Structure 1
Amino acid sequence: MSCFQIPMGVCNKLKKPICNWWGMENGKKKVHWRSWDWLSTPKYLGGMGFRDMAIFNQAMLGKQGWRLLTEPQSLCARVMKGRYFLDGDFWSARCPRSSYTWHSIMHGKKLLQQGILWRVGNGKAIKILRDTWILEVTPGTLNTSHAFPDNQTVNALMEENGKHWNTISVREFFSEEISKKILSIPISSEGCNDFPSWPYTKNGIYSVRSAYNLARSQLFWKTQSSDGKGASSKQRIMEIAWKKLWAINCPNKMKVVLWRIAHNCLPTGTQLQVRSIPTRYGCYFCNRMENVEHCFLQCEYVKEIWKDLKQEYGICLNLKNFSHIRQWVLDWISEASEIHSMIFAVALWHIWDNRNSCRNGEALPHPLRVSGQIKAYIDFILLNNVRSEGVSRREALKSVKKWTPPP
């Protein structure tokens, strides 16, 4: 996988058993409540983080291209250079009538080009217009008032000693925004060679994981954004909210239920009716039509639970500006404290668990009994694994109500 490009047909065959495992039990197929594209989307973008084999394969092949760039004296790099780019460089190499190994490396190079960032040394190896050397400025989008030759290198923008930028030239040739970015790039005082770096890792070295996340993120934003170009600032805020959701201090099963609520992919009455699954479609608490909003927020039975939790913990659902369940969940988590986010996730899971117990024939418990279960579980979490912001373990233990013998 790290040396050869896997054909798409093989990747699809590998994906099929993963999909079936997720939705099958004892050979019987289950309902796939969310598409594979969403399940394979990274968690911080709203997916479940299942691995896309084709993109993962490309990220691994990008590692081979990185080695050719950073280890030019290795035997493999010298053989490849002598065979495929003897009079040029790795970026100008092509793959017509080449071996499948080189064809695979060129496939990885496409991903490598999207993320690589050149660090300026003496500026003699970096092309001003062709290479990526300014953060967040891709080749082809760099506008300049000067007609630079295609092979003009960055050292043309430096002073004669090569230790400082030529401020006058930079401000003359580029816009104010680009000029600030260029002038903020440090230049080596020792005149070392230019070198490639990977800005998506802390140490600047290519990693398969960071490359995979880059490719998956670009694909996601390209399909989700209205103009098909990429992520907006509002969408970046959503990334932070999803990260906060998965960082909630509670068991993963509760985070998964919260994720499914946000995606409206729980088997509520309306979802079962849409899929023509013959069963009861009404709410098991009040017998009204059951959608995800009603099940967790609008049902009178559930409102009693939230009312009791508000009195105990001061948690407020803030439903005034409610428009869509996913946006509401993300906005609520973004503004909530860590302790309230944990209470929120625990409460939603217990509501859903009691709903399913009632569906399976058990008696409907009193709302205060459900809220009592929620409180007991919250106390258990605080006693065993306190990670709430601004609350030490000792303070949390003091705040938890304990049983005391009667006088």
Structure 2
Amino acid sequence: MDALEEDRHLSSEEQLAKGHLKTELEKVLLMEEINCRQKSRALWLREGDNNTRFFHRIANSNRRFNTIGRLSINGAITMDQEEIGEGLVNFYSQLFIDEEGRRPLLDGLVFSSIDEEDRCCLDRPFTEEEVVGVVKDMAGDKSLGPDGFSMAFFQRCWAIVKDDIMAVLHDFHAHGTFEKSINATFIALIPKKPGAVECKDFRPISFISGVYKILSKVLANRLSLVLDKVVSASQNAFIGGRQILDSVLIANECLDSRLKSNTPGVLCKLDLEKAYDHINWNFLIYMLRRCGFSEKWRHWIYACISSVRFSVLVNGNSRGFFHTSRGLRQGDPLSPLLFLLIMEALSRMLDKACEGGFLTGFSVGNSAEIMLAISHLLFADDTLIMCGAEPEQIWYLKGVFIWFQAVFGLKINLSKSELVPVGNVPDVNVLAGILGCRISALPLMYLGLPLGASFKKKSIWDAVVEKMEKRLAGWKRMYLSKGGRLTLIKSTLSSLPSYYLSLFPLPMSVARRIEKLQRDFLWGGMGDEHKYHLVNWHQICTPLQQGGLGIRNLSIFNKALLGKWLWRVQQPYGVGLWKFIRAGWDSFSSHLTFKVGDGSRLRTTYRISGSSHHWDIAFSRQVQDCELETVTALMELLYSYPIRRGSLDELCWRPSSRKVPTRVAFFTWTAALGKILTVDNLRKRRVVIVDWCCMCKDHGESVNHLLLHCSVAQELWELIFSMFGVAWVMPRGVVDLLSCWSIKSGKTESAAIWKTIPHVLMWCIWRERNNRTFLGEEQSISALKCAFLQTLYEWLKASNLVCCNSISEMIDSCAVGS
């Protein structure tokens, strides 16, 4: 059709056929893109350009990286696929077999327990509403289990399969069992490093069936509601209200406090060998019992973890089918939550050692406050222990490790664990020899962030920049349009530094360096070749509503992320990183308001007696006669504020003070700069056009003339001045007008209307000018005034700035307020 159109005009039938073919082609390309996205796992291009060739290349590169072409078996390298498959099946079938023998218990330790209400909540029957919520919340295009059904299938076909799914869940609730085939699992092997040849160099990820995934997620959602009651504050993983960065910030504060005190100490970062794979089931059930879980719930959990049957995926083919007697699956929604209970036992053992004085921990606080000693921080299997630098403490710590291995079945790989001296520790070699671990130095990488490094140093950002450069080098930019590059920048490249930005202040030089990487990638610069950057980067970073592309400004984003700490934690004390973050409180608090509840956080007393309430205010001195009017106004303001009885006082984020749509505020800003495309500005850009104002039809058109001095504009401004009963001399320019206009302040309805008027009025004039210029439509001055008043009223009502119920009431409030 395209070739035919080049030679002659297409008939109406041919044009319809071409449109139909184009629609069908777009459907095929969309399905091809979705198929390639699932293969490539390039989730950062969930919605982007139709980069089909790019997706194919990514899929092929992942396939090459994940292909197991050779494997070391008993010290000999083999490339035979049958031998590789058999070797991997033997390795993992042995890995998940528990050693026989009795293990000691921890009956001497005290654990937190859930109450009867929590037990009833966990054991309650499954409802369709609960299950539907789980199905809808899960990603639909994740990897498939042995049954071949994705979550997208259950989401799309829920009306058809819901009765069968609910029957499985109800049977499980009643009897605690299900068909063993439901829990069949594929083990996918992900290389931990390029060129992996040893079986231990692969990370086993479980692909579970769709039906079991639904059941497991329902149980996990219930378990997550009560875990915070049994898991101590030293664990910050997978608990609502706790974050991974909490551990990093606390560790930094502990370290800074220790260094400031000049007291030597050590950090011990543990490496747990195949932590999930070595979990002892009996000990897990024991921990569930100690934490107060019902027998029914314990039976459910045991059924989920003990009925697993594995097959190993080797280059896309499943090998073997074997059962297990220990371990939790990485990929099962229940596994990370159950692992927390295992690590809680280690946390309680370390707490017991501190209570007995065998370990001291690092103290945080000052002389005016109660000192808090922190001995350990846990995030899943990432364990950081802080203690004194005395050999006696290290010997006791080693004893805890030995007992930990005997009880849990987990093994601490001391050869990969690290001992870091804090302060002057001359005998660090002796301490490391006791544990049998290696010696490291600060800064120490902990949970992906440098611990012990100066947060002001630019060098801590080198890892982030290198990661971005590596990612850019891996992307095949010649296959991407600018739309595709923009998608990648917004979805991936801008997110790479987010983890660091959430804790460390971003140096300006680093921000410029990262932004240069983004700019060069967007405009397609390759190596040393020069590419024109057609639009200013600041304009690109403005929101979409303001004509930009919505790419994040990293410096502003950094301040917002650091502000989250101020929202979550209001404690003033800090010696290092927290002290710097806390310094931003003044700027942050300017965006907060305070909602009064029960008055418990007020300095002024607020009393409630029966159905009445009153404020009990004590002034610092006697009120003078001339101040009575002011005091009366204060009391009226206090009693006019709605009090939320029965609720707590709380800080609230103050919404934006802008009372007009964003596009209008952007227009006003542009007009104040004199950049809107009036006739004089168009002529500056060499557009041939008559210098004529289409509003008054008497003068040339400029920004200031159109919006302020035109006879039509003056009619509207006079309407405003008459509404408020004020005399006003119109200034020369828009900037001067806005400066003078902002002088009038207050929180009355009249003041709110006054502040909004310039935006509304100039916007209405601009729209009328455009309608006359491009559409040939012209309103009378009376109709224009009515349109202005209607627009003003609607915007004020939408912003909840006025309580009036009509335009006439709004006009009356202006006269009263003035």
Q: Which has the larger radius of gyration?
A: 2
Query: Which TM bucket (shorter chain)?
Result: 0.3 to 0.5
Report the structure, 1 or 2, having the larger strand content: 2
Larger relative CO (CA 8 A, sep 6+): 1 or 2?
1
Q: TM-score, normalised by structure 2?
A: 0.23
